[in-house]
């Protein structure tokens, strides 16, 4: 009988944890720009914010080469700034799981969806929270620039 009382509590706890705003928060914007222009603007934004591209995942292209030629374009650009990474990892070594940062571009219903994964800003560690807020500000600005049709919005951080 006690197991039946615990079960609803566990389900609610799991749902609350899974739905938390801090778990896997994504920042996204839609654009009507051509896919190649989105990729070029992402590269520009990454370099202008003093990050280095470390890898690219051409997921859509790879799936197309496997035979699904109608599959939409999807790309993930991985990037890092070792100074920022060092600062962050000194505070919280577990944040290695957020490295490298990434920008994504996905063809979706005639538009391109540009996104990035943000760091949690409410960890209980004031220093880590401030660092995460600063990094998230940069990541958001990269998404905004990449999705924008205005080439002059790049905010200097």
pLDDT tens digits for range 18-32: 444 444 699 999 999
Whether the predicted model's global pTM rises above the 0.85 cut? no
Q: Please check whether residue 145 is in contact with residue 46, taking contact to mean a CB–CB distance below 8 angstroms.
A: no
Give the Cα-Cα-Cα angle 43, 115, 53 (nearest 5 degrees): 30
- Bridge partner residues of 106 (DSSP): 74, 113
Q: Please check whether residue 81 is in contact with residue 51, taking contact to mean a CB–CB distance below 8 angstroms.
A: yes
Q: Which domains, from first to last, does the chain contain?
A: 23-147 (3.30.310.70)
Q: Please check whether residue 130 is in contact with residue 49, taking contact to mean a CB–CB distance below 8 angstroms.
A: no
d(CA 56, CA 27): 19
User: Which of 59 and 150 is assigned the larger pLDDT?
Assistant: 59
pLDDT tens digits for range 29-82: 999 999 999 999 999 999 999 999 999 999 999 999 999 999 999 999 999 999
């Amino acid at each position: 009988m006690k197991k039946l009382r615990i079960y609803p509590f566990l389900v609610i706890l799991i749902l609350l944890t899974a739905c938390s705003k801090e778990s896997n928060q994504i920042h996204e914007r839609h654009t009507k720009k051509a896919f190649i222009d989105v990729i070029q603007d992402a590269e520009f934004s990454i370099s202008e914010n003093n990050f280095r591209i470390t890898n690219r995942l051409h997921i859509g292209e790879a799936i197309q080469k496997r035979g699904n030629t109608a599959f939409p374009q999807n790309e993930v650009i991985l990037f890092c700034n070792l100074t920022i990474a060092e600062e962050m990892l000194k505070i919280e070594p577990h944040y290695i799981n957020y490295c490298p940062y990434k920008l994504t571009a996905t063809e979706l219903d005639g538009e391109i969806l540009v996104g990035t994964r943000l760091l949690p800003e409410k960890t209980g560690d004031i220093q880590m929270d401030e660092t995460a807020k600063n990094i998230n500000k940069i990541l958001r600005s990269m998404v905004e620039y990449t999705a924008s049709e205005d080439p002059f919005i790049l905010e200097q951080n």
